[in-house]
Amino acid sequence: MEDFIVNLASGALDNLNYWWIILFMAIESSFIPFPSEVVMIPAAYIAAERGSMNMPMIVICGTIGALIGALINYALAYFLGRPIVYGFANSRFGHMCLIDKEKVEKAEQFFDKHGAISTLIGRMIPAIRQLISIPAGLAKMNLPSFILYTCLGAAIWNIILVCIGWAFHTQVSEQQLIGTISHYSHIIGIAAIILVLLICFFLAYQGLKTDKKDNNKK
């Protein structure tokens, strides 16, 4: 599966555009395993290298695609219910999609622990991001809230990957790009999570400073 993804990404690199970004990110966000790193990072790289796309539109298209895939998972779980979802997870096709009962249970536990906000946080955690829409659908989460949190989480994740792609532009040749991303995918994922945590801590710190100022004024 990994070799197939690498070959597919390499083949799409020369023809990558906004529509392909939406399609690949919809696939990545559904139950089909397809890492977002091999879509968003090359797209940003191409934008920096050739100027045929721009960064904001890449983020927007990536977020639209992520929402489409997330809505597919949400709808399947919402209408089919837990027995069919877990039956699929235990099936041969489910295992081909790298889904099993334990992963779905892990996503459900994460959702139960963190509530609706988990659809935002979960979009930025590997092994959870593709499946977090399933427990949201099983719990029949409010759809507007689901869409809002999914878009926010996907946008933050996509911005981080786009920044990595922009940085790669000066460090890696185009011929080595996909191989580099594949080889260092785990490190890229960890670095992205660290950046997410730093952003969350910064926002929390700024919020505390604002609250203190407001209290002092009173």
Task: Report the chain's mean pLDDT, rounded to a whole number.
Answer: 76
Distance set, CA 194 to CA 72, 95, 200 (Å): 29, 30, 10
Quote the pLDDT of residue 178. 65
Distance set, CA 44 to CA 48, 127, 164 (Å): 6, 23, 8
Confidence (pTM):
0.76
Element (H, E) at 194: helix 185-217
Instruction: Give Cβ neighbours of residue 1 (< 8 Å, ≥ 6 apart).
Output: 33, 96, 98
- Residue 180 pLDDT exceeds 70: no
Question: What are 194-216's pLDDT values in tens digits?
Answer: 766 676 676 666 666 665 665 56
With CA atoms as reference, report the closest residue to 38 among 29, 28, 51, 52.
28
Quote the pLDDT of residue 85. 76
* Mean pLDDT confidence for 108-120: 74
Quote the pLDDT of residue 203. 61
